[in-house]
Structure 1
Amino acid sequence: MPRLSSMLPFALVGVALLLAPATNGSAGWNLLVQVVLFTLAAAIPGYLTRHVSYVDVAWPWGLVGIGVVTLLTADDLTAVTVGVSLAYLAMGLRMGLWSLALTMKHGWWKPGAPKVELPRYQYQRRRWERQGFRNETLSVQYEIWLQGLANATVLAVPAFLVAGDPQRPLSFWSVLALTLWVASFVLESVADKQKQQFAARGSRGTCDTGLWRYSRHPNYFFQWMQWNALVLLAVPSLLTLFSDTVLPVWVVLAAGLGLVSWTLYVTLTKHTGARPAEYYSLRKRPDYARYQATTNMFFPGPVKTQRDQ
């Protein structure tokens, strides 16, 4: 029952996307794309190996799918529609190419090759135990399809609202939102690069330089800000579609737009992001407890001193 209740908000938003005249075509094609992608790239290999990690391939390529569907189903390719599509393509390709290279490097797609679950999904198994979930096969499929459902519904809302608003001009608001997205995308990339450079130097301690000096997870924070930028970009289109959409459907779409930010925040701070990462960092790095005490977990801020604590 708890698992079904967690899927219900996504399902309601998906129904609203299919019922709204401006988004139903894009939503229908996206549902098909996500089902095929997650079945082939995650659900089947996950069933065969009992590993959730394949979803890290399916999820970002699902974002690519949303970007492609938006481009192909939009009534008119306005500058804003192209901008939101490119944002999804960039986010998806950046993570998708990395995850595909990682899984190929470790032989995940070779029959009989040993498979190692990613740490965040090893941590997920601890949650299953605490919550009393004993059926591993069911739990693996739940984790995979929860992310698939998110791609098919809530996470597609900004793109499909913009695509469903073909008369929208490139306004100051649109430029501001897209600029915020670009800046956040660049800063996420910078944070990842700084972490890679730190590791390449052979350092065994905790990376606390550059953006990592002000947040323990700046890459996650700026990934979240990219989604907030897309939410802001879609707000004018949501308001424009009010007159052509049945009120209950419009209300669910508005709630879905808000769920984009909330879903990514919970995911990046608790579900598969900061919390499992820090669980293992505390065990591998003796200085990580000090880093936790002096540096904000998610939102960037000044370094704390003992007097601040």
Structure 2
Amino acid sequence: MRRVWGMLPFVLVGVALLLAPATAGLAWWNLVVQVVLFTAAAAIPGHLTRHVSYVDVAWPWGLVGIGLVTVLTSGPLTATTVAIAAVYLVMGARMGLWSLVLTVKHGWWRPGSPKAELPRYQYQRRRWERQGFRSEAWSVQYEIWLQGLANASVLAVPAFLVAADHDRQLSFWSVAALVLWAASYVLESVADRQKQRFAARGRRETCDQGLWGYSRHPNYFFQWMQWNSLALLALPSLFARFQDTTPLVAAVLALGLFFASWTLYVTLTKHTGARPAEYYSLRKRPDYAQYQATTNMFFPGPRKTAHVSASD
């Protein structure tokens, strides 16, 4: 039942997208795309290998699918619709291409590959044990299809709200939201590059330079900010849905817009983001505890003074 409740918000938002006349066509096409993609790229290989890591291939290419559905099936195209579709295509392709690199590197493309899961999904297995879930096969499929459901519902809400608003013009609000997205995208890329350069020097201590001196996970923070900018971009289009559908369906779509941001926040800080990463960092790097004591986990901020006891 815990897992059923976890899926319920995504189901409700997905149904609302299918029931709202302005988004129904987009939602049906997207549902088909996500089912086909997650079945072929994640569910089947996940069943054969018991690896959840295939979801890292399916979900970013699912964003590409949302972008394509938005631009190809929305009807009359506005500048805002083209812009948000391009954002989904860029975000999805960037992560999707990297996922293909990981697929080759870890040998996931070979059925029965002995290669281990990514650390975040190894950590997920610890959660399964603590929560009493005993079926590995079912747990793998649940994790995969929960993400597939998110792609078919809350993660598509910003794009489909904008695409359904055929009368919307490119306004100051839209430009500001897109500028926020672009700045966040660039800063996420900068954070990733800073970490790569630090590791390339062969240094084994914790990276605390550049953006990493203000947040322990600046790449995750700026990825989250990209989704916040998409929610802001879609906000003016949300009000139009109160005119062409029932108040309940429109209210669920409003919840979905908020839930897109919340889903990414929980994912990046707890589910497969910061928490599992720090679990392994504490075991690999002796100085990581000091880094935790002096640097914010997620939201960037100034360094703090660590209080170290005499016994330390």
What TM-score, normalized to structure 1? 0.98
Give me the whole-angstrom Cα distance separating, in 2, the residues matched to 1:92 and 1:128: 28
The one-letter code sitting in structure 1 at the alignment partner of 2:274 is: A
Deviation at 1:106, TM superposition (A): 2.3
Per-residue displacement from partner, 1:89-144 (whole Å, max 9, x unpaired)? 11101110001111112221124542210000000000000000000000000000
Are 1:97 and 2:65 counterparts?
Answer: no
The unaligned stretches of length 5 or more in structure 1 are none
Q: How many residues align?
A: 309
Partner secondary structure for residue 255 of structure 1:
helix
Are 1:193 and 2:193 counterparts?
Answer: yes
Give me the whole-angstrom Cα distance separating, in 2, the residues matched to 1:263 and 1:308: 35
Give me the whole-angstrom Cα distance separating, in 1, the residues matched to 2:100 and 2:233: 30
Deviation at 1:308, TM superposition (A): 12
Are 1:85 and 2:85 counterparts?
Answer: yes
Following superposition of structure 1 onto structure 2, how do residues 1-309 of structure 1 map, counting pairs within 5 Å?
Answer: 1-306=1-306
Deviation at 1:295, TM superposition (A): 0.1
Give me the whole-angstrom Cα distance separating, in 1, the residues matched to 2:4 and 2:111: 33
Give me the whole-angstrom Cα distance separating, in 2, the residues matched to 1:119 and 1:260: 25
Deviation at 1:307, TM superposition (A): 6.7
Give me the whole-angstrom Cα distance separating, in 1, the residues matched to 2:101 and 2:262: 29
Deviation at 1:77, TM superposition (A): 1.3
Percent identity over the alignment?
A: 78
Farther-moved stretch of structure 1 (2-11 vs 69-78): 69-78
Give me the whole-angstrom Cα distance separating, in 2, the residues matched to 1:131 and 1:308: 34
Farther-moved stretch of structure 1 (281-290 vs 67-76): 67-76
Give me the whole-angstrom Cα distance separating, in 2, the residues matched to 1:16 and 1:244: 13
Per-residue displacement from partner, 1:52-85 (whole Å, max 9, x unpaired)? 0000000100000000000011122111001100
Partner secondary structure for residue 205 of structure 1:
coil
Give me the whole-angstrom Cα distance separating, in 2, the residues matched to 1:193 and 1:306: 27
Kindly report structure 1 stretches of 4+ aligned residues shifted beyond 4 Å.
none
Structure 1 residues 224 and 39 mapped into 2: Cα distance closer, same or farther (>3 Å)? Answer: same
Give me the whole-angstrom Cα distance separating, in 1, the residues matched to 2:125 and 2:18: 34
Per-residue displacement from partner, 1:244-302 (whole Å, max 9, x unpaired)? 11111001000110101110000000000000000000000000000000000000000
Give me the whole-angstrom Cα distance separating, in 2, the residues matched to 1:143 and 1:214: 32
Partner secondary structure for residue 31 of structure 1:
helix
Partner secondary structure for residue 54 of structure 1:
helix
2:48 touches 2:111 (CA, 8 Å); kept in 1? no
Give me the whole-angstrom Cα distance separating, in 2, the residues matched to 1:256 and 1:95: 23
Structure 1 residues 52 and 112 mapped into 2: Cα distance closer, same or farther (>3 Å)? Answer: closer
What TM-score, normalized to structure 2? 0.97
Per-residue displacement from partner, 1:156-214 (whole Å, max 9, x unpaired)? 00000000001100000000000000000000000000000000010100000000000
Give me the whole-angstrom Cα distance separating, in 2, the residues matched to 1:228 and 1:242: 22
RMSD between aligned residues: 1.2
The one-letter code sitting in structure 2 at the alignment partner of 1:72 is: L
The one-letter code sitting in structure 1 at the alignment partner of 2:238 is: L
Partner secondary structure for residue 22 of structure 1:
helix
